[in-house]
Amino acid sequence: MTITKARLGLVGARGHVGQELISLLRRHPRFEIAFVSSRTQPGQPVPGLEDLRFEDLDAEAIAEKGADAVVLALPNDLSRPVVAAIDAVKPDTVIVDVSADHRFDDAWVYGLPERLRGTIAGSTRIANPGCYATAAALAVGPVIALIERPAQAFGVSGYSGAGTTPSPRNDSEALRDNLMPYHLVGHLHEREVTRHVGPVCLMPHVAAFFRGITMTVSLDLREPLTKDALQAIYEDAYTGEPLVKITAEIPLVRDAVNQPWATIGGFTVDLERRRGVVVVTLDNLLKGAASQALQNLNLALGFPELEGIASWPR
């Protein structure tokens, strides 16, 4: 699909990711936001879009809006009725699902542009990767053929990753002076990366900061590699990638906040044990969700990939 302007609907805009999407989309020169749906805030003005109000729309009403593109920012397990309704009314609508509902569906394209840019372009059904999954996939992808067992990924996310529904993982008092491990085996994003990139063991944690992810990944290498050789593999893999930065330094999560790119660095090698370590940081609400969704929308609709997404001098 290639058009010059697109009418876009946003479904499920109350949460942190929905608010980031609104902020990005309202500044995008090629999108007209046709509607914003929220079951919890009907009639309330949409922040930053004073001429729009949240609407409580069921699946059929969303489909009848006839938008060129729809972003689903719903909790997991709620998107399928909306997709079915759109399929029945306007099946060529571009749908980007930010939830996990279609990340394991072969009929949908996995929306990680650094791996599947050519397949995403022109697609109408795109499953946006999870935040931890994006970090792990970018860290492990370039070396997946060079490791002899699953990569070990120790991840720490800001509490915005736990969403807006109250829980211990977004309770500031529970997190104060604390680091909270959770779902240490079989995490959804662990299965997601294993399916789309290669085997990973993910150990997620949540900390008291609001946004950002830092992930330290341990790699058991088949053959010894020097630190410089390991870094060179990543530099080669991401040459020309506008939203991945490579650095010799250990990237800090605070520097990832409000930035649309991932940074990979801190390359370290134990030659005797054939073990490499890399660190990746990103903003879980941007490259881990909203700005990646916009990147996928741009590709699907034939717009410049970075339109509406801030960049930086390289």
Residues annotated as catalytic (active site), given as ranges: 131
Residue 157, phi-psi category: left (phi > 0), alpha (psi -120 to 50), beta (remainder): beta
In angstroms, the CA 76 to CA 63 distance is 19
Query: Are the C-beta atoms of 99 and 111 separated by less than 8 Å?
Result: no
In angstroms, the CA 161 to CA 217 distance is 19
Query: Are the C-beta atoms of 24 and 309 separated by less than 8 Å?
Result: yes
**Which H/E stretch holds residue 125?**
strand 125-127
* Cβ neighbour number for residue 268 with a 10 Å cutoff: 16
Main-chain phi, psi angles of 195, to 5 degrees: -70, -45
Tally of CA atoms within 13 A in the half-sphere of 181 that contains its CB: 6
DSSP string covering 216-253, please?
Answer: EEEEEBSS---HHHHHHHHHHHTTT-TTEEE-SSPP-H
